[in-house]
Each structure stands twice: as structure tokens, then as C-alpha cells.
Amino acid sequence: MSQQDKQEQLQQLYVQQQMAESNANALQERIELLQAYMQDYRSGLEVLKKIEDKDAGEDMLMNIGGNIFVRARLLDAETVIREVGSGVRIEQDAQEAKASVEDSLSQLQERSGSLSAQYEQLVTQAQALNAQIRQMVAQMQQLGE
């Protein structure tokens, strides 16, 4: 193989390695976004579980995020208002809302697991390409000496 062929092969490997790293970074961002959504759903689920045992008119502390709580009075423990997307909110039975949140959380966890597996494959691929690049560079340096 000529020196020029080796240079071209090295460039191709480098481009592949950079693409694998770029795709892995994009997947990592999506995984982090999914984790934020999952945390939001877990927080909502926690509140739904807390109000299950409460009666209408009962006072309670509501976590509004960032370890900040407000005093609140539960007007209706049986019905909640839930956003279903694009700013649309519906009134829903608390148990139905809880089941829906649990289902959404399960789907998010499944998607996160799938993305994590893809991420691991891309990282492994990038590492293998990086090893090939290092090996080719070392061989080219030995031949050049």
C-alpha cells in the first residue's frame, strides 16, 4: 500500500471516528433530556401518591422543586388537571393520571435504556477507530524513520 493510500485510509478512519464521537455526544444529550423528563414524571408521581391518602380540604406541604415547599390546601383529592401536550390540559381521575404517568415513565425508561445501549456501541466504535488510527500512525512513523 502506498504512502498516499495509507494517508487516505487514515483520513477515512479519522472521519469515521469523529462521526462516531459526534453521534455519541448527540445521543448523550438526548439521554440527559430523557432523564430530566423522567425526573419530572417521578416528581409528579410522588405528589400523586401523597394525595392518595389525603382528604379534600386537608392542608399539606407541596414540593415545587429545588427543595422549596409551599403550604397548600387540597380542594379535590379525586381529580387532577394534567397537561397532555402542546399546552392542552385535561381533568382526569387521580388514579387514571397516576397510571398514565407510570406508563409514560416506563416508556421513557425503556427509550433511555435503548439510547444508552446505542451510546455504548458508538463509544466502543469510536475507541476501536481511535486505536486503529494510533496503530496506523505508529506504523507510518516507523516506515518514515
Domain boundaries along the sequence of the chain: 3-50+94-144
pLDDT class of 130 with cuts at 50, 70, 90: very high
- What's the pLDDT tens digit per position in 47-78? 899 888 888 899 988 888 788 999 999 998 89
CA distance 25 to 23: 5
pLDDT of residue 53: 86
pLDDT class of 14 with cuts at 50, 70, 90: very high
pLDDT class of 145 with cuts at 50, 70, 90: low
CATH topology (fold) of 3-50+94-144: Helix Hairpins (1.10.287)
Kind plus residue range of the DSSP H or E element containing 29? helix 3-52
- Whether 61 contacts 72, CB under 8 Å: yes
Can you list the positions of beta strands (E) in the chain? 59-65, 68-73, 79-85, 88-93
Q: Does this model's pTM top 0.85?
A: no
- Alpha-carbon distance values, 47 to 20, 43, 51, 65 (Å): 41, 6, 6, 12
pLDDT of 81 higher than 80: yes
| Percent of the chain surpassing pLDDT 90 | 71
Average model confidence (pLDDT) across the chain: 92
